[in-house]
Structure 1
Amino acid sequence: METYSFLREMADSWALLLLVIFFVGTWFWAFRPGSRDLHDDAADVVFRHEDTPASEKDDDDNNTPGSEGRS
């Protein structure tokens, strides 16, 4: 059997099967019972050290690009 034919047969059958098994396993791992707390914690990481919202004065003092010369 030629090398190309052999690799093509492996890719068509076994590699596809392995990728499907990997996808289904990853899906079950992400949605397993008890993982909600981990996902909620990861979603709230950006807000972890915010104590108070920014005031309007702080928003006006920001030097954002493109805001020069505007009143």
Structure 2
Amino acid sequence: MYDTLASFAQTWGLLFFFAVFIGVLIYALWPKNRDKFDRAARLPLNDDMPADERRKEDDRDD
């Protein structure tokens, strides 16, 4: 009984996670999502924060 259940879980678990992986890969590489991911990739490099918000963050660091 255990061997049958373990075999079933291994086989279908592998297929399930493979399908999820393919789904995530398609979502990440879909052309419509390119702009969103490009903006997210540049987010740490942006220095467009208004001065008053920057001052608030500097005050929190002290």
Q: TM-score, normalised by structure 2?
A: 0.64
Q: TM-score, normalised by structure 1?
A: 0.57
| Aligned residue number for residue 56 of structure 1 | none
Q: Which structure shows the bigger proportion of residues in helix conformation?
A: 2
| Aligned residue number for residue 39 of structure 2 | 41
**Displaced runs of 4+ in structure 1, greater than 4 A?**
none
Cα distance, 1:39 vs structure 2: 1.1
The percentage of aligned residue pairs carrying the same residue is 31
Note the residue ranges of structure 1 that are not aligned, 5 or more in a row: 51-71
Structure with max Cα Rg: 1
Question: What value does the CA root-mean-square deviation take over the aligned residues?
Answer: 1.8
